Structure 1
Amino acid sequence: MIEIHCTKKLLARLPVDEQGNLPVSKTHGALPTVPGQLSPLSGWHANLLTIQRRNCVMFVHDTTRFPLFIASLKKPDFANLEYWFEDALMNTLMKCGATALQLKKVGHALQRLKMDSQTDRSVQGSLNQMGQDAGFMLEDCKVDEILGYGLAANLAQRPCMIKSGKDALWPERDFLALLESLPEQGAAPNPRTVQPTLPENVTSMAGFRYRKDRYH
C-alpha cells in the first residue's frame, strides 16, 4: 500500500472506509496491493486547496518533497483520487524527464492508497509552502484549464529546505534518484501504467491521455 497522510480538511472530503481505503473505481479498477507491505513509493502528505473557488489537491512526498498537483476536482473525483494520484504521478514524472525504465519501476511499485491523518510538521510545512507557491503561479491563468503536471514539475525543480537537515532537498533530483534505487523487477505491474516494450523507432500513444475539459 501507499500511505497518504491527509490534512483533516482533505480527509473530510474523502469517502474512505474504517481502514482508510477509497472505494474501488468501477471505471478504472483497483491498483494492486501486497498485504502487510508498504510500497517503496509510500509516504506522502496531501492537502485540499481552494484556488479560484476550485478544489485542488497538493501531494508532497515525505522524504524527497516531490510534489503532485491535481486541479479542479469535482465531488465524484474525490472517490477516484487513487486514479488521479496515479495519473498525476506518471505524467509529472514524464514532465521531469523520467526515463522509460524509471516509469516502469513506478508502474511496478504502484499500489492502493491508504489515507490517514498522521501528519509530520516538517513535511506539512513544505506542503503548505508549495500550496502557496501554486496559488501565486496560477494568478494569471485559469485553474480549471490546466492539468497541473507542468506546475508540479516546476515546483519540483526548486530547492526545499527542511528543519531536520542542513542541506536543501531537490525534489526532482532526489525522487528520480529514489526511482533509480528501485529494483527493475517487483510486484506484478499495474497494466494501466506499464506498456509493452517496443522497438526504439516506435512510439506508443497508450500513455498519453486527452481529456476535453483539461489540458496543459
Structure 2
Amino acid sequence: MIIQCTKSLLDKVGIKGNELASSEGHEQFPDSLMAWHANFVSINRRKAIILMNNETRYPIVIYRPSIKDFSKIKELIREAIMQALRMEGVRKEVIEAYLDKAGEISFSKTSSRSMVAKMNNTVREIEFMGTYLDEEAKIQRYISLVVGRLIQISGSNEGFYPFEKMLEYLGSISGIDIDEVLDIDLYQLKIQINIEGHDIWRRVLVPATYSFRHLHNIIQTVFDWQNYHLHEFVVERAENKPIKILMDDDPETLEYINIDEFDVRQERFVALEDIFPEYNEVMYEYDFGDAWEHTVTLEKVVKSKTFQATYLDGNGERPPEDVGGAGGFEEYLRIMDNEKHPRHQDIKAWAESQKERKLGPEKINQRLNRVTSGSGFSTIVI
C-alpha cells in the first residue's frame, strides 16, 4: 500500500527523499485501490491526517495525532482503514484480504495535480461536515460514513458515491459479488410511545453501527414527528449512574446538564452497538414540554447484507405535535370523536398540520433511506 503524502505530512512523518517510493503508476485499477493520497491539515483548529483512496475517493480521518502517533503511523493508518470499513459493515475477512493484497505501507510524494485537487476537495468536504468529528477520538468513526455519501464528479463521467464504489471494488479484488462484501448486524427494535391506555409502536431494523443521531432520525421518521423540539436518550444502569445521550449540537442542552448525576455522551458519536445488547432498553424523550417518552427495546439481532434501516410494522397513530402532553392528547381525542363539540372543526383544521401523515411502508422506507444515508433530517415526503 502506498500513501502519497503532501510535503507537510512527509515532514511530520520524518520520511527523507531517498526513502520515498515512486509516486507514479497508481492511477489505474487495481493499483489505484491500493493507494491513498494524504494530507496534514488543520480542521476546527485541530490537526488532522486526511486520507483519500485514489480509486474510490473514500475518505478517512485521523484526528489530533500526537508526536508519538507519527512513530507508528503505518499501524495507525491500517487500523483507521479497518475501523472505517467495519463501520460500513464490510466483512472483516474482506478488509483483511484487501490489506494483505495492498501489502506493507510505503510513502511517496503526491502524484498528479488532478489527484491533489481531488484530495483538496475531500478536505473541504470534511471541513464542511466537521460537526461529525469527535474531539475524544483519534480514529474518526462517523465522518467517513457522512462524507463517503457525498456525490463525486470526475470529468464527464457519471457521478458516484465513494462508499458504493469502495464496496464494488473490494468485491472485485476479492472475487465476490458486492452483496457478499457486507456482513451486518441489524438490531430489531420495538419503539413504544408510553401513553397509558394506548398501544402506539413501530418496529424497525437498524444497523448496529448506526449512531444514536441516526436512531433519532429513524424515530422521527417512522412516527412522522416533525423534529420541532429537543430530545434525549437515557440508559438506566443498576450499578452506575444513568447514561444520558444528548443532541450535543444544541448549546443549551449541554449547558444545563448535571454531569455529576449522569454519564453524558454525544449522540453523533455513540454507536448503537456501544449500548445494545449490554443494555436491552433505552428511553427516548421527544419534546420536553409534552414529554413524549418512547421505550426502545432490542428484540433480536438479525444478520444482513444490507446497510440500511428498514421499517417493518407498527400500530396506532401518534399524538399531534404540541397537543399538550398526555392530558392534551386525551382532550384532543374527545373533541375529535364528538362532531357536535363547539371546537371540533377548529381542532380538526389545526390537527391537519400537526398529526401523523398516513404513509405506507414503502414511502416510510424511502424516507428512512434518505435520512440515514445522508447527514440530516427532512420532513419532506416525495
TM-score normalised to the size of structure 2?
Answer: 0.40
Runs of 4+ in structure 1 displaced over 4 angstroms? 38-41, 139-142
Deviation string 1:123-164 (CA, Å, 9 cap, x unpaired) is: 22221122122223225865344631210121112211123x
- Equivalent of 2:64 in 72, 81, 84: 72
Q: Which residue of 1 aligns with 2:276?
A: none
Q: Which residue of 2 aligns with 1:86?
A: 78
Q: What displacement does 1:177 show?
A: 1.1
Deviation string 1:19-45 (CA, Å, 9 cap, x unpaired) is: 238xxxxxxxxxxxxxxxx97742211
Name the aligned partner's letter for residue 14 of structure 1. V
Distance 2:174 2:54 in 1: 21
Contact 1:3–1:44 (8 Å) recurs in 2: yes
Structure 1 unmatched runs, 5+: 22-37, 185-214
Greater fraction of residues in strand: 2
Name the aligned partner's letter for residue 116 of structure 2. Q
Distance 2:48 2:4 in 1: 16
Q: Secondary structure at the match of 2:34?
A: coil
Task: Establish whether residue 103 from structure 1 lines up as the match of residue 102 from structure 2.
Answer: no
Q: What displacement does 1:183 show?
A: 3.8
**Aligned residues: CA RMSD:** 2.5
**Which stretch of the first structure deviates more once superposed, 96-105 or 151-160?**
96-105
Name the aligned partner's letter for residue 19 of structure 2. Q
Aligned positions of 1:1-216 closer than 5 A: 2-17=1-16, 18-20=18-20, 41-139=33-131, 143-145=135-137, 147-163=139-155, 165-183=156-174
Based on CA coordinates, which of the two structures has the bigger radius of gyration? Answer: 2
* Percentage of identical aligned residues: 20
Contact 1:55–1:74 (8 Å) recurs in 2: no
**Residues 63/75 of structure 1: CA separation in 2 closer, same or farther (3 Å cut):** same
Q: What displacement does 1:106 show?
A: 2.2
Deviation string 1:97-120 (CA, Å, 9 cap, x unpaired) is: 213442242243242211111322
Contact 1:105–1:179 (8 Å) recurs in 2: no
**Residues 169/93 of structure 1: CA separation in 2 closer, same or farther (3 Å cut):** same
Structure 2 unmatched runs, 5+: 22-29, 176-268, 271-382
Distance 1:94 1:183 in 2: 16
TM-score normalised to the size of structure 1?
Answer: 0.68
**Residues 101/147 of structure 1: CA separation in 2 closer, same or farther (3 Å cut):** closer
Q: Secondary structure at the match of 1:12?
A: helix
